[in-house]
Amino acid sequence: MARLHLFDLDGTLLHGTSAPLEISRQLGLLAETMALEQAISAGRIGPPEYATQVHALWTRLTEEHVVAAFEGAPWLARIREVWTEISDRGEYCAVVSLSPSFFVERLLGWGAHAAYGSRFPAIPFTEPVDPAGVLSAQAKVVIADRLCAEFGVTRDDCVAYGDSLSDKDLFAAVPVSVAVNADRHLAGIATHSYAGMDLWDAYALVRPAL
C-alpha cells in the first residue's frame, strides 16, 4: 500500500528556526523577524499579516541571500536518506509549509515529490504579496487532499510530521503523526513524538508499522 508522508518545514526539518528567520539572518534583520514570529505564535497576527510584514522587511532580498540561507540553515540530519527510503518503498513525500514557496520548493532537489509554500512575488520584489496565496493551517489539509488525489492515496494513507500550531489541523485529519521537537500545541494529538536532530530517527518511529 502506498503512503504519503507530509513534512512541515519550520521547526520540523529546520531545527529551532524557520525559513524567514534564516533569510532575515542573511539580511541583518533577525530581531525584526523574531518579533513577527512571536506575534504570529501568540495569535496577534495571522499568516497574511505575517507574510505582508516580512515581505516589507525584505526590500534588499536577492537570490544569493536565499541560497545562503538555505545552505547555512540548521537542517535535521538524513533528510535526503529518509526521502530516498520512502521513494524506494514506492511511497511519496511532500513538504507543506507556511514559509515562502521560493524557499520551500528548493527541497524538490533533495527528493521531495512535491513542495508547497506561501506564494511570494519573484525576487527581487517589485510586487506586493497576494494574501490569497498565503497558506494557513487549514490550507495544509486542503493541499494534503490535493496530493492524495494526485498520488492515488487517501487521508488514511498519510503520515504527518510537524512541530507546532500550524500542524494541528493536519494532525487531526490523518491517522499517523509524528511530533518533531514539538511545542505544547501538539501535546496529546500526535500518535508519536520525537526530540532530536536526525529525521531518520523520527521516521523510524512509524516505519515498522508501515
Q: How far is CA 90 from the centre of its chain?
A: 22
Q: Are strands 92-100 and 192-194 parallel, antiparallel or unpaired?
A: unpaired
Give the global pTM: 0.96
Q: Is residue 209 scored above 70 in pLDDT?
A: no
**pLDDT score for 151:** 97
CA gap 138, 113 in Å, rounded: 21
User: Would you state the cell numbers that stand for residue 112, as one nine-digit string?
Assistant: 521531495
CATH fold for the domain made of 4-15+75-204: Rossmann fold (3.40.50)
Cβ neighbours around 59 below 10 Å, total: 10
Average pLDDT of the residues in 35-60: 95
Using CA atoms, how far residue 183 sits from 1, 14, 30, 168, 190, in Å, is 32, 14, 21, 11, 11
